[in-house]
Amino acid sequence: MFVSRVNDEVRVETPAKVNLFLEVLSRRNDGFHEIETLMAAISIYDTLIFSENSENEVRLGCAWAAGWQAQENSRSSSRLRESLDSGCGDLPQGSDNLVVRALETLRRRAGVDRGVTVQLVKRIPSAAGLGGGSSDAAAALIAANDLWQLHWTRNQLQEVATELGSDIAYFLGSPTAICRGRGERLEAVDRFTQLHLVIVKPPFGLSTAEVYQQCQPAKTARSPTALLQCGRIGDLGGVGLHLFNRLERSAQTLTPWIDRMKNVFDRFDFVGHQMTGSGTSYFGICHNAYHARRTAAAVRSEHLGRVFCASTLTLHAFPLSASPP
């Protein structure tokens, strides 16, 4: 997560994620599932620009960007505003949007009565298993903490994040982490080889709740230990061999797209491949960055959906406040 401040605006470039490992351990009494997952942040970014307003309201303007890569770093805030449509289209609006909920919750918890206007440019696909909404919400907590000069600690912000959703706390920590519970208990992974990925988002999305509802928790749970060991020593073949996602089988019962992507990926020289999160995005690990670019071009010819070329992030931690210009 990259945070900067220019004059009275805080700007955040916040990443997507993939699940390299996801085991469903049990159903919980609160309606959630007990999971263990290894998540890695990747180089697909949403951009959010935050500024205070005098009306003491939370306002959100959002639109889909024309492209999906983080090429906006050189653009000014005013040009980003000009790229926004008048409405959010198919993006959640008002209190249904996690950004708005995050800001309202932080205002309430901190006891502040200050407004904020947010300009959101989306590149991370929705209903894709890539964590876009959760990442945006984490960015909102970081930016508001700086903009309102709350000086809250990482732990305090993660408490708010846990109240809002399962994956949000992850985006406030290390870019690679083991997440347990319903996703809120974090264990940072301080060393893991960088991965170069090809990701496909098909035209059909899935409801996270429906995918989990179809999932049968593991009778004998798998462990991410072997995957972690391979990642720490840079054994790409071992990483590919130990990829796992318990939810993939559930998603296969809900849409034919998972099998279709799996069959196509089988034809290419991927180190390994699988669905991320609750779907429907599907990713393959490549041998290097050149292999990823070349393979992405070939996969595009299969007309599976939107194709991304990305890499995992190796920064040790995400900043919690903006740096002065």
SS3 label, residue 178:
strand
Task: List pLDDT tens digits, range 291-313.
Answer: 999 999 999 999 999 999 999 99
| 8 Å CB contact between 322 and 146 | yes
Task: List pLDDT tens digits, range 134-188.
Answer: 999 999 999 999 999 999 999 999 999 999 988 999 999 999 999 999 888 999 9
Average pLDDT, the chain: 89
Looking at the structure, tell me whether residues 55 and 156 fall in a common domain.
yes
Exposure b/e, 131-169, CB count within 10 A at least 16 = b: bbbbbbbbbbbbbbbbbbebebebebbbebbbebbbbbb
Of the residues 17, 46, 146, 201, only one is catalytic, namely 17
Could you give the CA distance from residue 176 to residue 115 in angstroms, rounded to a whole number? 33
Does residue 17 have an active-site annotation? yes
Task: List pLDDT tens digits, range 41-80.
Answer: 999 999 999 999 999 999 999 888 864 433 333 334 444 4
Q: Work out whether the CA dihedral 60, 66, 69, 71 comes out positive or negative.
A: negative
Domain boundary among 185, 209, 234: 185
- Total count of domains within the chain: 2
Q: Does residue 94 belong to any structural domain of this protein?
A: yes
Could you give the CA distance from residue 317 to residue 240 in angstroms, rounded to a whole number? 25
Looking at the structure, tell me whether residues 230 and 176 fall in a common domain.
no
Does residue 269 have an active-site annotation? no
Q: Does residue 325 belong to any structural domain of this protein?
A: no
Residue 84 pLDDT > 60: no
Task: List pLDDT tens digits, range 230-286.
Answer: 999 999 999 999 999 999 999 999 999 999 999 999 999 999 999 999 999 999 999
Looking at the structure, tell me whether residues 176 and 229 fall in a common domain.
no
To the question of pTM greater than 0.85 for the whole model, the response is: yes
Gap between the terminal Cα atoms of the chain? 17
Could you give the CA distance from residue 134 to residue 194 in angstroms, rounded to a whole number? 23
Domain boundary among 185, 206, 224: 185
Looking at the structure, tell me whether residues 137 and 282 fall in a common domain.
no
Q: Does residue 97 belong to any structural domain of this protein?
A: yes
Looking at the structure, tell me whether residues 167 and 238 fall in a common domain.
no
Looking at the structure, tell me whether residues 38 and 170 fall in a common domain.
yes
Residue 108 pLDDT > 70: yes
Q: Does residue 317 belong to any structural domain of this protein?
A: no
pLDDT at position 32 is 85
Exposure b/e, 40-58, CB count within 10 A at least 16 = b: bbbbbbbbbbbbbeeeeeb
* CATH code, domain carrying 33: 3.30.230.10
Looking at the structure, tell me whether residues 159 and 251 fall in a common domain.
no
Q: Per-residue pLDDT averaged across 98-109, rounded?
A: 96
Of the residues 136, 146, 167, 201, only one is catalytic, namely 167
Pairing relation of β-strands 282-286 and 272-275? antiparallel
pLDDT at position 28 is 86
pLDDT at position 299 is 98
Looking at the structure, tell me whether residues 10 and 115 fall in a common domain.
yes
Domain range enclosing 43: 2-185
Looking at the structure, tell me whether residues 173 and 204 fall in a common domain.
no
Residue type, 271: V
Looking at the structure, tell me whether residues 26 and 91 fall in a common domain.
yes
Looking at the structure, tell me whether residues 265 and 144 fall in a common domain.
no
Looking at the structure, tell me whether residues 17 and 51 fall in a common domain.
yes
* CATH code, domain carrying 279: 3.30.70.890
Q: Does residue 190 belong to any structural domain of this protein?
A: no
Task: List pLDDT tens digits, range 115-124.
Answer: 999 999 999 9
Q: Does residue 324 belong to any structural domain of this protein?
A: no
Q: Does residue 110 belong to any structural domain of this protein?
A: yes
Domain boundary among 140, 159, 185: 185
Q: Does residue 320 belong to any structural domain of this protein?
A: no
